[in-house]
């Protein structure tokens, strides 16, 4: 694939000419929410193409979204639908990318649709990293298709990017440019919590600098605590740093949330924010801050800036407050609690603690290491030996 810098240059040209196309792969709940959010931008420069297996099913979702948006008076978006795109068939994905020439590709597909993996893993092994082979299974196929198509698109991944993007990069494969969700779901909670503690109503003006891996997105959101791991966090308001007790901030982040697919409103919002941040950075020349898991193949999540440096559009980890080493140390500690000891040389390495927990909870023995070539086999093992039996117990 072309470098991100080269592809951003193409994106910049298309935005300036008023012609930006987003390809959404899969219209499950994440893809459908994202479709609705993008339509609601009422941006006539924006067009969307939804691709996946079942064209009729996707068209039905597109119809309700665009009619509803037009009722609200916000739909200025042209939408196409293409079926017959099978993520197990890289050639069909490649053909779709070549045909539509998107500026953004959002992979919202899941290897096991309709299931929140955390509903199985959190109560039993208290770690999400066990699902890494499932998270990467279709992503690697999409990236192989992007590479084969030599796409100019900026690619966004929606599933466990904290480990998936590093896994692809360490294997020498093409990898997504941005990951959505995870860390980005926690930052707004922190903004609300800090605003309450400061006694201010304009919570949107609370500025957060923060880095953490996926474990803490879940642990802080569910339990309001960090399991004793120190995390890099600073709060600013009115241009000044505010000294607030981190333990209290995190405790206030524990707020009730739905456990069904409506939770995917957050993931879809993360995708939308990445797209709109790049568009806004180009249109306004104002640097935008994002919170991105797996950025540039680094394990865990980081604050990332998109904008112009020396008149060149780019994206880079924001080290204005915390050094990369400080953030990376915290991220690796967080990912270890999530069951991922490391990702290197194309291999994901589970922690011994996760292997022991999985044996006790599910009666299965996970491999210590999952090589890139063993991803599909391991994903199938996890489905057959963990997911299917656990769902059967709940039935």
How would you write the pLDDT of the chain (395 residues) with one tens digit per residue? 899 999 999 999 999 999 999 999 999 999 999 999 999 999 999 999 999 999 999 999 999 999 999 999 999 999 999 999 999 999 999 999 999 999 999 998 877 666 777 778 888 899 999 999 999 999 999 999 999 999 999 999 999 999 999 999 999 999 999 999 889 999 999 999 999 999 999 999 999 999 999 999 999 999 999 999 999 999 999 999 999 999 999 999 999 998 888 989 999 999 999 999 999 999 999 999 999 999 999 999 999 999 999 999 999 999 999 999 999 999 999 999 999 999 999 999 999 999 999 999 999 999 999 999 999 999 999 999 999 999 888 77
Distance CA 265, CA 302 (A): 21
- CA torsion sign for 357, 362, 363, 369 is negative
Closest CA to 49 of 38, 41, 40, 110: 38
- Residue with structure tokens 């017959």? 84
Distance CA 213, CA 160 (A): 10
> How big is the CA angle at 190 (ends 333 and 119), to the nearest 5 degrees?
60
Find residue 155's DSSP bridge partners: 105
39, two tokens = 């339509």
pLDDT of residue 13: 97
pLDDT of residue 263: 87
Residue 284: count other Cβ atoms within 10 Å of its Cβ: 10
The dihedrals phi and psi of 184, each to the nearest 5 degrees, come to -65, -20
Burial class (CB in 10 A: 0-12, 13-18, 19+), 370: buried
Which residues lie below 8 Å from residue 58, measured CB to CB, with a gap of 6+?
27, 50, 52, 81, 83
The dihedrals phi and psi of 107, each to the nearest 5 degrees, come to -90, 100
Distance CA 82, CA 354 (A): 41
Q: Is 310 left (phi over 0), alpha (psi -120 to 50) or beta?
A: left
Closest CA to 86 of 135, 138, 134, 131: 138
């Amino acid at each position: 694939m072309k470098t991100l810098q080269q592809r951003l240059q193409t994106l910049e040209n298309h935005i300036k000419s008023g012609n930006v196309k987003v390809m959404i792969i899969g219209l499950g709940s994440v893809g459908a929410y994202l479709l609705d959010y993008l339509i609601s931008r009422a941006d006539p420069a924006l067009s969307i193409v939804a691709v996946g297996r079942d064209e009729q099913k996707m068209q039905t979702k597109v119809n309700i979204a665009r009619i509803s948006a037009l009722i609200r008076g916000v739909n200025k978006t042209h939408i196409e639908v293409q079926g017959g795109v099978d993520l197990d068939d890289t050639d069909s994905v490649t053909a779709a990318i070549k045909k539509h020439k998107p500026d953004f590709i959002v992979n919202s597909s899941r290897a096991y649709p309709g299931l929140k993996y955390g509903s199985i893993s959190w109560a039993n092994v208290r770690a999400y990293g066990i699902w890494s082979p499932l998270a990467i299974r279709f992503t690697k196929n999409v990236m192989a298709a992007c590479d084969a198509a030599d796409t100019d698109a900026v690619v966004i991944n929606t599933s466990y990017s904290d480990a998936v993007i590093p896994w692809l990069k360490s294997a020498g494969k093409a990898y997504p440019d941005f990951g959505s969700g995870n860390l980005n779901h926690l930052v707004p909670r922190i903004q609300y919590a800090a605003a309450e503690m400061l006694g201010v109503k304009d919570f949107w003006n609370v500025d957060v600098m923060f880095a953490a891996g996926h474990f803490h997105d879940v642990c802080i959101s569910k339990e309001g605590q960090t399991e004793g791991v120190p995390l890099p966090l600073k709060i600013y308001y009115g241009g000044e740093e505010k000294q607030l007790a981190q333990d209290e901030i995190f405790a206030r982040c524990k707020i009730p949330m739905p456990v069904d697919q409506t939770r995917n409103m957050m993931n879809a919002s993360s995708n939308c924010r990445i797209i709109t941040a790049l568009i806004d950075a180009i249109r306004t020349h104002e640097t935008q801050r994002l919170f991105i898991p797996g950025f540039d193949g680094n394990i865990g999540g980081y604050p990332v800036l998109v904008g112009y440096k020396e008149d060149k559009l780019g994206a880079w980890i924001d080290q204005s407050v915390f050094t990369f080493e400080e953030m990376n140390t915290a991220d690796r500690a967080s990912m270890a609690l999530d069951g991922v000891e490391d990702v290197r040389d194309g291999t994901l390495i589970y922690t011994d603690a996760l292997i022991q927990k999985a044996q006790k909870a599910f009666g299965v023995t996970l491999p210590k290491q999952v090589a890139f070539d063993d991803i599909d086999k391991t994903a199938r093992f996890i489905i057959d030996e963990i997911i299917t039996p656990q769902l059967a117990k709940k039935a």
